[in-house]
Amino acid sequence: MSTILVVIHVIVCIALIMIVLFQSGKGADMGAAFGGGSSNTLFGTTGASTFLGKATTVAAIIFMLTSLSLAYMSTHRTGKVSVMEDVQTPITQPATQNENAPAKSE
């Protein structure tokens, strides 16, 4: 399940980047290049939504849903808690004093 969700998330990320890059800005027309873009309202013109605008909204919603789902799934894992769970601890032997080493003097 999580693999499918990650694949969908990556595809939507790439699609969202491409959709945003394909859109033109508010002042991208020829008149704005020569100073004629001052006729816009304070927040830009409000007209009919374009296809790319609607596609951006849909892609952003899917991106947020997959992000939230992946975050929830990463914190509520079932099964193994750690990748080190099956690793055996090494056997340690108590340290012995080396017979050839000089004795500690106080």
User: pTM higher than 0.85, yes or no?
Assistant: no
Question: What is the pLDDT at residue 71?
Answer: 93
pLDDT at 94: 75
Question: For residues 93 and 72, which has the higher predicted lDDT (pLDDT)?
Answer: 72
The structural domains of the chain, with segments of one domain joined by +, span 1-23+51-75
Q: Report the amino acid identity of residue 34.
A: F
Cα–Cα distance, 24 to 32 (Å, whole number): 12
Q: What is the mean pLDDT of the chain?
A: 78
The contacts of residue 83 (CB under 8 Å, 6+ apart) are none
Could you tell me the pLDDT band of residue 86, with boundaries at 50, 70 and 90?
confident
Residue 16 above 80 pLDDT?
yes
Concatenating the DSSP letter of every residue in the chain gives -HHHHHHHHHHHHHHHHHHHHHS--TT-SHHHHTTGGGGS-TT----PPPHHHHHHHHHHHHHHHHHHHHHHHHHS--S-S-TTTTPPPPP-------TTSPPP--
- Predicted confidence (pLDDT) per residue in 19-47, tens digit: 999 887 766 556 655 655 555 555 555 56
